[in-house]
Amino acid sequence: MKTRLFLTFDKPSLDSPILSTLTSQFGLVFNIYGATVNEEVQFVALEIEGDEGAIRAAISYLQQRGVQVELRDS
């Protein structure tokens, strides 16, 4: 399953390896297709691929760490 996500990070979450955890902890593969990171905006657009349950768990993980997650059609 593939899912596109738009992620908005708060400043504290920028200091941790949140995206690499999608691969190491949830077994997902991701492709970043856009990003803006500066003092005012921290935004990443990516497509993740993997098991549906793992994708749901990863979205929950992101939200628990203060990342706003918006799902987009693939």
| pLDDT tens by residue, 7-44 | 998 776 667 888 899 999 999 999 999 999 887 778 99
Cα separation of 12 and 4, whole Å? 23
Whole-number pLDDT of residue 74: 59
Each residue of 47-69: pLDDT tens digit?
999 999 999 999 999 999 999 99
The one-letter code for the residue type at 49 is E
Q: CATH number, domain at 31?
A: 3.30.70.260
Range of the domain at 54: 2-72
Q: How many domains does the chain have?
A: 1
Those residues with Cβ within 8 angstroms of residue 62's Cβ, 6 or more apart along the chain or in another chain: 7, 18, 69
